[in-house]
Amino acid sequence: MGSYAVGVVLAAGLGTRVGADGNKAYLPLAGRSMVAWSLKAVTDASQIARSVLVYRRGERQLAQDTVTAELPGATVELVEGGGTRHASEFNMLRYLAGDIESGAVDVVLIHDAARPLAGGDMFVTALSVAREFGGAIPALTVADVVQQGPEGIRSTGRERLVRVQTPQAFRAQPLLRAYRAATADGFEGTDTSSCIEKYTDLEVRTYPGDGGNLKVTYAHDVAVAARLLNRRLGEDPYTCRR
């Protein structure tokens, strides 16, 4: 077997803004928990050879039970997360370090559990762009920026903001080196690419994000995501209904 990609789902975050009592990753959406939908997208991607779920400390059994019940037949490796996104990613990279250093793992794809609607084509694109250039991040361009002026709100139309999504993918060896260097320096990036940009010369490319790739952050997002997933289930008669 040649080099292969590992797909990682991060589910160690907190659920306070969404109104969840526990971890929002395990909120039910259209017959599956949110994390199971995000994991399913990773395990369904034929280009991804191994799938890893990064769970919150104290939730290993919940993570294992969820995978067993909601993704029967899927092989998912479990890694305990840290107190921050950066720490969770470094825990995951240390877990994979031997296979990354040997060259067995060439790309690591990272996806948020809170994005259960990412389409399969995004995973394919992320991997191919990362292999070619070094890093891949999906981005949506916000065309108009509005400003509050003396005559009320107006659109400037000149500036363009970018909203970043996941899945993101990076070449594995530089990614591991970057996180080791960051730890030695006590540097903690706000996101994966900030660490890559500080400690490597990889070219991180953006690829087109998807307006339907909703991030479940607030309570109303749960209903929207459930409605979209139910619509998708209705369009696909072969999708498992649990």
The domains of the chain are located at: 4-136+164-235
Classify domain 4-136+164-235 at the CATH topology level: Spore Coat Polysaccharide Biosynthesis Protein SpsA; Chain A (3.90.550)
- If pLDDT is split at 50, 70 and 90, which confidence band does 217 have? confident
Integer-rounded Cα Rg, in Å, for the chain is: 18
DSSP 3-state assignment of 5? Answer: strand
The enclosing H or E element of 232 equals helix 219-235
**What span, in angstroms and rounded, lies between the C-alpha atoms of 63 and 77?**
10
Mean pLDDT value of segment 65-76: 96
Full-model pTM: 0.87
- If pLDDT is split at 50, 70 and 90, which confidence band does 242 have? very low
Query: What DSSP designation does 111 have?
Result: E
The pLDDT, as a whole number, for residue 1 is 62
Reply yes or no on whether the pLDDT at 43 is more than 90. yes
CB atoms under 10 Å from CB of 181, counted, come to 14
What pLDDT digit, counting tens, does each position of 145-195 carry? 555 655 555 445 555 668 899 999 999 999 999 999 999 999 998 889 899
